[in-house]
Amino acid sequence: MSMSRARVARRIAAAAAYGGSGIGLLGGVAVGLVLTELSLAKRVVGGSESGPPRADGRYGFAFARRTGQPPLRLAFLGDSTAAGQGVHRPSQTPGALLASGLAAVAERPVDLRNVALTGAQSTDLERQVTLALDDPEQPPDVCVIMIGANDVTGRMPPAQSVRLLSEAVRRLRESGCEVVVGTCPDLGTIEPVYQPLRWIARRLSRQLAAAQTIGVVEQGGRTVSLGDLLGPEFAANPRELFGPDNYHPSAEGYATAAMAVLPTLCASLGLWPEEAPETRDEGILPVAKAAAEAAAEGGTEVTAARGPWARLLRRHRPSEAGAEPPTPAPSPPPLAH
């Protein structure tokens, strides 16, 4: 089965690179049904009328006084998950959680700028990258991108989605910025979506996540799978890990996702031991096979090796490692504009 997923992901990525719509696993009628139900589910759950809390600012002030090092610059791009839709305090957003965690590991302050937009599809990434790179003298040190769910529900061809993401990663890498992408989450966890369409939603999500991984790795970025991480755990504890709208993660859900992304974020800057005890190095695999395996297991990192090869790292989930989510700094003031 993983080889079949790998072939489909590779075909989508090839279509993204060379033009075309890509090849999916599912017939048009089935896809139409599941996307219609997902759209209805979004209306049923409604969502928060207020926007996500603004968390831009500096984290880890104490480290500036202690070490005197300049702050790292962290940019966040993507959709409502990247923006932190569904929580009420800035400190609960994934950007704040990761900025706090990065500051603690690096022992230096971190300046967070979040340009993610609720409801965004990958078509918005060009605008967001331009915002993130608006100061050519001080590009971000690292960018985190979370995107893909709205591409699926909006019926965007997966090859187009991957092409747009790959272009965003290329621009960021050319500016000297490291890039970590949290791939498409598992839409099969949304409660108002019922079987058998729940299974189809999961398949569509994983198919896109695997293809995203190929496109990102080929441009020199790293990916972390959020799909399965937000699958069984969210399905088992929906009241704890989904927010009040049953569509966006709760504070606990965002903390779970942040714990999955933090090691890869730190590793991209050379701040995380590659032989950390909670890491299982699965070795060097063809990039498509690594992408397919990562899409099926949350918290799995894929990074480029030589040529058409990639390294697959399976990191223990927070519940397995007994770790606590990173403790956020007090809510910072907004950046001046």
Active site residues: 80, 245, 248
Give yes or no for a contact between 201 and 188, defined as CB atoms under 8 angstroms apart.
yes
What is the Cα–Cα distance from 294 to 270, expressed in whole angstroms? 22
Whole-Å CA distances, 276 to 144, 237, 257, 314, 315? 22, 28, 19, 11, 9
Give yes or no for a contact between 181 and 222, defined as CB atoms under 8 angstroms apart.
yes
What is the Cα–Cα distance from 97 to 36, expressed in whole angstroms? 34
Whole-Å CA distances, 193 to 38, 42, 147, 243? 7, 10, 20, 16
Task: Region of 154 please: left (phi>0), alpha (psi -120 to 50) or beta.
Answer: alpha
What is the Cα–Cα distance from 125 to 233, expressed in whole angstroms? 29
Nearest CA to 9 out of 224, 227, 288, 200 is that of: 288
Q: Which burial class, exposed, middle or buried, applies to 30 when counting CB atoms under 10 A from its CB (0-12, 13-18, 19+)?
A: middle
Structure-token pair, residue 337: 């504009």
**How does strand 279-286 pair with strand 222-224?**
unpaired
DSSP letters for 221-234:
-EEE--TTTTTHHH
Q: In whole angstroms, how large is the CA radius of gyration of the chain?
A: 18
